[in-house]
Amino acid sequence: MAAISFNCSVRSDTASFSSSLSPLSRQLLRRPLLSHGRFSDISISSHAVFPSLRRRISCQSSSAAPSVSSAVNGKAKENMKDFLHISDFDKTTILKILDRAVEVKALLKSGERTFLPFKGKTMAMIFTKPSMRTRVSFETGFFSLGGHAIYLGPDDIQMGKREETRDVARVLSGYNDIIMARVFAHQVVYVGDGNNIVHSWLLMASVIPFHFVCACPKGFEPDQKTVDKARSAGISKIEITNDPREAVRGADVVYSDVWASMGQKEEAAYRRQAFQGFQVDEALMEIAGPKAYFMHCLPAERGVEVTDGVIEARNSIVFPQAENRMHAQNAIMLHVLGL
């Protein structure tokens, strides 16, 4: 899927929950896969054998946990959870995951280090597409909760070239409790020129009600099927416009992304021309209002899609957003493993 740039505004209190969660494709392994992240490009898959367990976080070491019988393990295997698309989950589940992320974050910030739910567990991280934030946030988050993450770069696997994807899936599932994949494309997901972040917001709007406005140049609109899916849910107001000033007026959050994503650098000059007038600058944020936050999933090209002044402004939450993705990912993995 080709990613484009855009400006979007969100008018809803739920916008503060955002931490770069994105939909993932089922294509990577037809085994249980859990997905997260900038997320049209990221997948995670669970090979969990643990019973689903709802509880508040307790500060007990994992060694104090009761043993799980093989019978329970066998039953759990039949009910393994995946996180592939945000729209696969209902509102209650998504909000519970976000609440759990807040709890885990508070626990880690407090200095507590005895909550180790991932102790004895391993995660294979498949990267066909490099990403500093994705690797560091997953590896650090999994380690902080007791687990061990293994990085597998493009030359380590060459998935679909040196070895069939389904064979890689079976082998890695036998070794690891979770598989996360950061890939270039997802078939069965989106068709047409759209932006993965826009699509993630649209899919979220099909589950959690809020007012979402996407501003982009003509010809760069998000995939119509994804827009229709969000609108057909009937719970959110969805607007697609070519006027960024009208889009941000009265917004709670203004969100932007790079104008040429990885794999589109040869189009950079063309896109810079096409997106003239869509830069998020101080004047645009002034139209949004003094209470509007600015978000960006990073990396940002300062001076292109957003000015340096906007990123460094008091109402920019770009860097807390970057940190929060780690806590959201931890919560997703806890959910998928039933912990």
* pLDDT, tens only, 177-207: 999 988 765 437 222 235 788 999 999 999 9
In the block, tokens 């995670």 appear at 44
**Low-confidence winner among 14-18, 132-136, 164-168, 316-320 (lowest mean pLDDT):** 14-18
216 has catalytic annotation: no
- How many other CB atoms sit within 10 Å of the CB of residue 140? 14
Amino acid at 264: Q
- The CATH number that domain 187-336 falls under is 3.40.50.1370
| C-alpha to C-alpha distance for 317 and 259, rounded to whole angstroms | 20
- Which backbone phi and psi does 293 adopt, to 5 degrees? -90, 155
- Burial profile 219-244: b = 16 or more Cβ within 10 angstroms, e = fewer: ebbbbeebbebbbebeebebbbbbeb
pLDDT at residue 44, rounded to an integer: 63
Report whether pLDDT(6) > 60.
no
Q: What is the mean pLDDT of residues 222-230?
A: 93
**Low-confidence winner among 128-137, 166-175, 190-199 (lowest mean pLDDT):** 190-199
pLDDT at residue 263, rounded to an integer: 65
Residues 178/339, Cβ–Cβ less than 8 Å: no
pLDDT at residue 233, rounded to an integer: 96
Q: 3-state DSSP call for residue 306?
A: strand
Average pLDDT score over the chain: 78
Q: What percentage of the chain has pLDDT greater than the value 90?
A: 57
**Low-confidence winner among 130-144, 226-240, 257-271 (lowest mean pLDDT):** 257-271
* pLDDT, tens only, 81-90: 788 888 889 9
- Residue 329: band (very low, low, confident or very high) from pLDDT cuts 50, 70, 90: very high
* pLDDT, tens only, 52-76: 222 333 333 333 333 333 433 444 3
Strand-pair category, 253-256 with 293-296: parallel
Q: Where in the chain is CATH 3.40.50.1370?
A: 109-184, 187-336
Check 8, 214, 216, 297 and give the catalytic one. 297
Q: What is the mean pLDDT of residues 13-18?
A: 37
| C-alpha to C-alpha distance for 191 and 239, rounded to whole angstroms | 20
3-state helix, strand, coil in the chain (%, to 5): 40, 15, 45
**Low-confidence winner among 53-67, 108-122, 130-144 (lowest mean pLDDT):** 53-67
CA 272 to chain centre: 26
With CA atoms as reference, report the closest residue to 115 among 54, 66, 61, 55. 61
* pLDDT, tens only, 275-287: 999 999 999 999 9
**Low-confidence winner among 97-101, 162-166, 242-246 (lowest mean pLDDT):** 162-166
109-184: CATH class: alpha beta
